[in-house]
A and B are shown apart, each in its own frame.
Chain A
Amino acid sequence: MPGAPGEPAIRARGVEVGYRGTVVWHDATFEVEKGEFVAVIGPNGAGKTTLFRLLLGLQRPLRGSLEVFGAPPRRGSPRIGYVPQRHTIDNDTHVAADVLVRLGISGTHLGPEIAFRAARKATLEALAAVGATELGSKPLGSMSGGELQRVFLAEAIGGRPEMLLLDEPLSNLDMRRTRELVELVHGLVQSRHVTTLLVAHDINPLIECLDRVIYIANGRVANGPPEEVLTSASLSELYGVPVEVLHDSRGNIVIVGGENPHERADA
Chain B
Amino acid sequence: MTGGLSWNIVTDFREIWQYAFMRQAYEAGTIVAVLAGIIGYFVVLRRTAFAAHALGHVGFSGAAAAVVFSVNPVYGLLVFTMAGGGGMALLGRKAATRDIEIGTVLAFMMGLGLIFLSLYKGYATEAYSILFGDIEGVTVSGVYLTLEGAIVVLVVLAMIYRPLLFSSLDEDVAEAKGLPLLALNVVFMLLLAVAISFAVQVVGVLLVFALTVTPAATAVRITKRPLYAIPASVAIALVAIWAGLFIAWWPPYSQYPPSFFIVTISFGAYMLVRVGSSLADRFGHRAAPSVDANPGPMSVPKSSP
Binding site for B on A (CB under 8 A): 56, 58, 75-77, 80, 82-84, 86-89, 93-96, 99-100, 103-104, 106-113, 131-135, 137-140, 144, 146-147, 150, 155-156, 174-177, 180-181, 183-184
Chain B contact residues (Cβ within 8 angstroms of A): what range? Answer: 35 or more
Q: Which residue on A lies nearest to B166, using beta carbons?
A: A107
In the assembly, what is the distance between CA of A135 and CA of B176, in Å?
25
Q: Which of B27-67 contact A (CB under 8 A)?
A: 45
Cβ-neighbour of B298 out of A88, A89, A146 (below 8 A): A146
Contact partners of A184 in chain B: CB under 8 A: 297-298
- Cβ of B158 under 8 Å from chain A: yes
In the assembly, what is the distance between CA of A80 and CA of B173, in Å?
11
Contact partners of A77 in chain B: CB under 8 A: 178
Known: A99-B225, A107-B177, A108-B178. A138 touches B291 (CB 8 A): yes
In the assembly, what is the distance between CA of A77 and CA of B294, in Å?
35
Known: A103-B165, A103-B166, A107-B166. A86 touches B172 (CB 8 A): yes
Binding site for A on B (CB under 8 A): 45, 95, 158-163, 165-166, 168-179, 220-221, 224-226, 229, 291-292, 294, 296-298, 300, 304
Contact partners of A99 in chain B: CB under 8 A: 165, 169, 224-226
Known: A94-B221, A174-B304, A184-B298. A108 touches B291 (CB 8 A): no
Report yes or no: B224 in contact with A94, Cβ–Cβ below 8 A: yes
Report yes or no: B176 in contact with A58, Cβ–Cβ below 8 A: yes
Contact partners of A104 in chain B: CB under 8 A: 170, 173, 177
In the assembly, what is the distance between CA of A75 and CA of B172, in Å?
12
Q: Which residue on A lies nearest to B292, using beta carbons?
A: A144
Report yes or no: A95 in contact with B221, Cβ–Cβ below 8 A: no
In the assembly, what is the distance between CA of A95 and CA of B95, in Å?
18
Known: A75-B178, A76-B176, A84-B176. A155 touches B170 (CB 8 A): yes
New A-B pairs, 8, CB < 8 Å, besides A88-B169, A110-B163, A147-B291: A86-B172, A94-B221, A107-B174, A111-B159, A113-B162, A140-B169, A175-B304, A180-B300
Report yes or no: B166 in contact with A84, Cβ–Cβ below 8 A: no
Q: Which residue on A lies nearest to B45, using beta carbons?
A: A95
Q: Which residue on A lies nearest to B296, using beta carbons?
A: A131
Report yes or no: A108 in contact with B177, Cβ–Cβ below 8 A: yes
Report yes or no: A103 in contact with B170, Cβ–Cβ below 8 A: yes
In the assembly, what is the distance between CA of A103 and CA of B221, in Å?
21
Contact partners of A111 in chain B: CB under 8 A: 158-159, 161
Contact partners of B174 in chain A: CB under 8 A: 103, 107-108
In the assembly, what is the distance between CA of A139 and CA of B45, in Å?
13
Known: A100-B169, A131-B298. A106 touches B221 (CB 8 A): no
Query: Which one of A88, A96, A104, A133 has the highest number of Cβ atoms from chain B below 10 Å of its Cβ?
Result: A88
Known: A84-B173, A94-B221, A95-B45. A107 touches B298 (CB 8 A): no
In the assembly, what is the distance between CA of A75 and CA of B70, in Å?
50
Report yes or no: B170 in contact with A87, Cβ–Cβ below 8 A: yes
In the assembly, what is the distance between CA of A97 and CA of B191, in Å?
27
Report yes or no: B178 in contact with A180, Cβ–Cβ below 8 A: no
Report yes or no: A95 in contact with B169, Cβ–Cβ below 8 A: yes
Known: A75-B178, A76-B176, A137-B224. A88 touches B291 (CB 8 A): no
Cβ-neighbour of B224 out of A56, A82, A95, A180 (below 8 A): A95
Contact partners of A180 in chain B: CB under 8 A: 297-298, 300
The 10 lowest CB-CB distance pairs between A and B, nearest first, are: A76-B178, A107-B166, A84-B172, A94-B220, A131-B297, A96-B224, A103-B166, A139-B224, A82-B176, A56-B176
With both chains docked as a complex, state the minimum distance between the C-beta of A166 and any C-beta of chain B, in angstroms: 12
Contact partners of A108 in chain B: CB under 8 A: 162-163, 166, 174, 177-179
Known: A95-B45, A95-B224. A58 touches B175 (CB 8 A): yes
